[in-house]
Amino acid sequence: MNTALPIITVTLNPAIDLTLSIPGFAAGKVNRVADVQTHAAGKGVNVATMLADLGATVTVTGLLGSRNAEPFQLLFAQKRIDDQFVRVPGETRTGFKISDDASGQTTDINFPGLKVPAAAIDELTTRLATMVRPGSWVVLAGSVPPDVSGDIYGRLIEVIRAKGGRVALDTSGAPLKAALAFSPDLAKPNVAELAELVGRELPTPADIVAAAREVMTDRGVSLAAISMGEDGAIFITAEQAVRTFAPAVAVKSTVGAGDAMVAGLVFAMANGLPLDEAARLSTALGTYAVTRIASGLEAGGHKPYLQQVRVETI
C-alpha cells in the first residue's frame, strides 16, 4: 500500500531525545547508565518517521531551532522526508528519557521549548496553506511552546479545512480541549486525557465509549482512538466501537508508542482501510514501538504483532 498524497505532520515543539537506559532506576539513589541513545524526536517527527517506514510519502513542518537542526536534517534526508520546518532562532529543546528495562517504565523529563516569534507562526501558517491539497491528511501532534497561544491547533485546523484537508490530532491538556471545538477528523487522547475532558473517572470500556461520543464523535470528530497502555485501545466512530487487545511483550520504552499508533491510523485511513483493520495496524505498531528504544520501523518489524492483536466489537 502507498498513499497518493503526501501526509503532512506538524510539530510545534520538537525535541532531541536523550534516552538513558538504567535498569532498576530509583529516584534519590545513585543510578548507573547501561546505554545512551540520542535521536531527533517530537510527536509529529516520530509519526513522520513511522509513516515513511510504512511507505508513505511524508512532508514535515513546524518550528525548529536553527542552532541545532542538524540531527533533524539528517533524519529527514535518511528517510526521504520533505523538510518544510520553519527555522526559529535558538536551540530545539532536549528531552531526557530514563528507560528502566527491569520495570518496563519510562520517566520523561521535558523542557518547555523555544521562544517563538509571531512571524514564525505566520510563516508556518502560510507554508501549511500552500502544502495542503483536497484530501490531504495533516497530523497535528505534541505540546505547544510556552509563548504560543493555546488555540494554535484550532487556527491550523481552519487553515487545513479551507484547503480541503483532513486532520489527525494528538495533543493534551488545554490545546486538546481547544482544538476539539474545531472537530478534527481523528483525535487520539489516552484514557486519562479523556477522563480529564469529561471530568469523571472511566472505569469500563462502556464508560470510555460514552465519554468519547460525548466530547468527540457526537461533535463532529469522525474517529476517536483512546489508548489504554497495556490494556490495548478503543476506537470509536458514530456507528461503531472496537477494542484491541495487544500481545504481551517485553517493554523497553513507552516513548513513541502513541505516535506509532497515530501513524498506523493515519496510514490506514489514507489507504481506505475499515475500522477493524485500522485498529489492528495501529495497535500492532504501538506494540512494536514499546519493544525498542528508537522511532520508526525496521522492515516488517510489526508484522508478527498483526496476527497477535485481538479485535473485538463493543
Nearby residues of 182 by Cβ (< 8 Å), 6 or more positions away: 153, 154, 157, 158, 161
Mean pLDDT, to the nearest integer, of 268-295? 95
Of the pLDDT bands very low, low, confident and very high (cuts 50, 70, 90), residue 104 is confident
Give me the catalytic one of 83, 231, 259, 276.
Answer: 259
User: Does the 7-313 domain belong in CATH 3.40.1190.20?
Assistant: yes
User: Quick one: 26 exposed, middle or buried, by C-beta within 10 A (0-12, 13-18, 19+)?
Assistant: exposed
Mean pLDDT, to the nearest integer, of 95-123? 88
User: Quick one: 2 exposed, middle or buried, by C-beta within 10 A (0-12, 13-18, 19+)?
Assistant: exposed
Is a pLDDT exceeding 50 seen at residue 2?
Answer: no
Of the pLDDT bands very low, low, confident and very high (cuts 50, 70, 90), residue 3 is low
Of the pLDDT bands very low, low, confident and very high (cuts 50, 70, 90), residue 16 is very high
pLDDT at 21: 87
> Which tens digits make up the pLDDT trace of 209-264?
999 999 999 999 999 999 999 899 999 999 999 999 999 999 888 889 999 999 99
- Residue 259 annotated in active site: yes
> Which tens digits make up the pLDDT trace of 159-211?
999 999 999 999 999 999 999 999 999 999 999 999 999 999 999 999 999 99
Mean pLDDT, to the nearest integer, of 2-31? 89
Domain assignments of the chain as residue spans, ordered by start: 7-313
